[in-house]
Structure 1
Amino acid sequence: MPRPKLVLVYEPEKACLDRLVADGHAPERAAEIASYLAQSTDLAPEFDALAAACQKRGLCFAPLALDDAAGGLADEHADTTLVWTLTDGIAYFRGGAAPALARLNGLKTIGADDSLFALCQDKFRSGAVLGALGLPAPQAGLARDGHWLVEPPASPAGWFVKPNRLGAKIGIWPDSRSSDLSHALELSRRVFSAYRDDVVVQPYVAGRNVRASFLALKPDTGVEALGIAFVDSGGDFQTMADSLALYGDTGEAAKEAGQYAEPALLPVAASQPGAAATIRRIAARLMAGLGLRDVFSIDLRVEPNDNVHLIEFEVCPGLPCFDFRAYCHSQWGMDLADAMAETAASRFFS
């Protein structure tokens, strides 16, 4: 019998960039889109550390580029292989194919099933499901290239406009908070021209940004292991420029230029324990009703009165990002490589 093995499937930025350019995207826009795969770029230098952490626990480690996954997973043994998909995607990105390929070949996986990989990247559809589960997700309209597909609800505070399948919560530009719907339609034309995407138009919700991170180090880990932190970056919301400055090659360039500043992470429970308790209940509902498991993150907005708004969930949180590394240290007392290896080993040896 072969040694137990952790296979990490990842989609490289360069492969995505080349494919988008070949499909007719402008190179600058393609580079922005591909930047969402920067966690693959950022984690690759740690593959040796991951291999060592796995070996210490009796596992083999095998990173597998997505373009090689169809053949690579077909050769694996169902009883001894665990597949961890690093990046999601059904539109610009293709990582959602990996858990489906694992299921096709009878392989065990870390993370949600492949249906959620498809759902989480379509923000309009996922918002509808979250609403059906009774969760506090803002209602949304949907626009394509200046035309309403679904009109948004009225909002005295204005609206927030974001791409439907790209980046999830970011607003792309500083004027993504809109005070009138004609401007929201203009933003939809700009997004469609630049990225070929629809936009979600949601009522603007006030509050501070919160990231809730989860890693089930053991199979029976529950919502008590959720890490809940304010993410204070100095801005109301993240733009494309903000995102580019944090991760991947552009993040490295920002560090070298002295322009890199990680947002501050502050525990929500320290100042708003009621909001933290609400977020744990939301996470429990997502786990029970939606099927989130093993590893995920949730983005929320929290108002001073403890009112909580659920913005999105992610089945592939940015593992090498500053916030998830901080979570692994604070919750589990481990660096990222050891936390990942321990999670994988527990699925074989618990």
Structure 2
Amino acid sequence: MPHKTPTLILVHEPEKACFDRLVADGYPKERAIEISSYLAQSTDLAPEFGLLAAACDKRGLAFTAVELDDAASVLAKADPDTTLVWTLTDGVAYFRGGAVPAMARLNGLRTIGADDALFALCQDKFRSGAVLGALGLPVPQAGLARDGKWLVEPPASAAGWFVKPNRLGAKIGIWPDSRVSELAHALELSRRVFSHYRDDVVVQPYVAGRNVRASFLGLNPETGVEALGIFFVDSGGDFQTMADSMALYGDTGQAAKDAGTYVEPELEPVGASLSAADRKIRAIAERLMSGLGLRDVFSVDFRVEPDDTVHLIEFEVCPGLPCFDFRDYCRTRWGMSLSEAMAETAVKRLVVKSSRRA
């Protein structure tokens, strides 16, 4: 029988494809630009596809980058014995990448990352919060509002509330006034979000503390929470806004780099100052892996108070791989560039699969 080259297929949804679809669906161009900007990791990683192909080739793998609209036909022709599918972007509302793991499963293909159910769950923050709470994890309780009306009223909060979209990059507040002291203001923000993005809002009690990102790449299949990179991510503000997010990634971020105005948030290991919080975060991540099914590659966002109190905000099954923090994680934890770390992760999965079939 002829030798079959093991292949890594990376499926990604480009910003422009999403933008064009949103405009065709009636979104104003400004809103379509904002929404599609969440796919900036596709824009940021595309120039490095050559590096990723070279890193794969060095390890005996072929590499193919596939745009989402072509994924169904490509995956239908792929060989289940030698193919691994890595989905770069998730989404079930504005974005459609969450369909890829299901398409891979339909064609008997192995995947990197969580199963397809979590690709949908993580993008609905109200539902995912309910599941995380059921697992006994420290996620803030939430209310849900749609266009100025409560679907679920939020709990009382002496510290006020934080308002964020339910399905659109929902760890951020879209505007600087996303922290509110009156629930009437929360309902006003829900009307604004519905008008701009056709989305509900999650309204949670405001929790104090610094923003923390826990990144994970299981270079080896048996890798556990000891490999988490847990860092404070300080950007100078209490929380990230839509404008802050757009300034870091994609075409806007590149323009800032070209102009010399690009400033990355500072990263500081949590364990260096709050060792108890570091341990709590690892325990939470272990619970997410065993109880929820996170694996291979993911990130989790937290708020951590000075007394080591930890608040779980959200998890992501498609972390921003080309973002500054994940690149730093690959360098500091694995001693590799992003492309080398991705290729090494892929070859370890394909080698394990081949050895089990032998």
Shift of 1:11: 0.1
Q: Partner residue of 1:96?
A: 98
> Deviations 1:152-204 (Å, cap 9, x if unpaired)?
00000000000000012110000000000000000000000000000000000
Question: How many angstroms apart in 1 are the aligned matches of 2:83 and 2:350?
Answer: 9
Tell me the TM-score normalised to structure 1 length. Answer: 0.99
- The structural deviation recorded for 1:348 is 1.8
Q: Which residue of 2 aligns with 1:183?
A: 185
Give yes or no for the alignment of 1:49 onto 2:54: no
CA distance in 1, matches of 2:46, 2:263: 22
Structure 1 segment 147-166 matched on structure 2, within 5 A: 147-166=149-168
Structure 2 residue runs of 5 or longer lacking an equivalent are 353-358
Look up the SS of the partner of 2:315 in the other structure. strand
- Structure 1 residue identity aligned to 2:48: E
Report 1:210-225 matches (<5 A). Answer: 210-225=212-227
Distance 1:86 1:282 in 2: 24
Residue 66 (structure 2) aligns with: 64
What is the rounded CA distance, in whole Å, between the counterparts of 1:260 and 1:137 in structure 2?
32
Q: Structure 1 regions of 5+ residues with no counterpart?
A: none
Superposed CA offset, 1:62-112 (max 9, x none): 000000000000000000000000000000000001000000000000000
- CA distance in 2 between counterparts of 1:242 and 1:321 reads 14
Q: 2:195 aligns with which of 183, 188, 193?
A: 193
1:328 and 2:330 correspond: yes
SS at match of 2:175: coil
1:217-260 deviation per Cα after TM superposition (whole angstroms, max 9, x unaligned): 00000110000000010000000000000000010111222321
Amino acid at match of 2:86: W
Which residue number in structure 2 is paired with residue 301 of structure 1?
A: 303
Identity score, percent: 79
1:273-296 alpha-carbon deviations (Å, 9 max, x no partner): 000000000000000000000000
Structure 1: distance between partners of 2:256 and 2:201: 29
Q: Distance in 2 between matches of 1:27 and 1:144?
A: 23
How big is the shift at 1:119?
Answer: 0.1
Residues 30-69 of structure 1 deviation map (CA, whole Å, 9 limit, x = unaligned): 0000000000000000000000000000000000000000
- Residue 12 (structure 2) aligns with: 10
Looking at structure 1, the residues matched to 166 and 257 of structure 2 have their Cα atoms a distance apart, in angstroms, of 30
Structure 1 segments (4+ residues) deviating >3 Å: none
Matches of 1:85 and 1:341 in 2, distance apart? 14
Q: CA deviation at 1:2?
A: 1.7
Which amino acid is the alignment partner of residue 248 of structure 2?
L
CA RMSD after TM alignment: 0.5
Alignment-mate amino acid for residue 308 of structure 2 = D
| 2:332 maps to 1:347 | no
Q: Distance in 1 between matches of 2:259 and 2:296?
A: 37
Larger mean Cα displacement after TM superposition, 1-10 or 274-283: 1-10
**Paired letter, 1:43:** L
The letter for the 2-side match of 1:140 is A
Alpha-carbon distance in 1 for matches of 2:296, 2:132 = 19
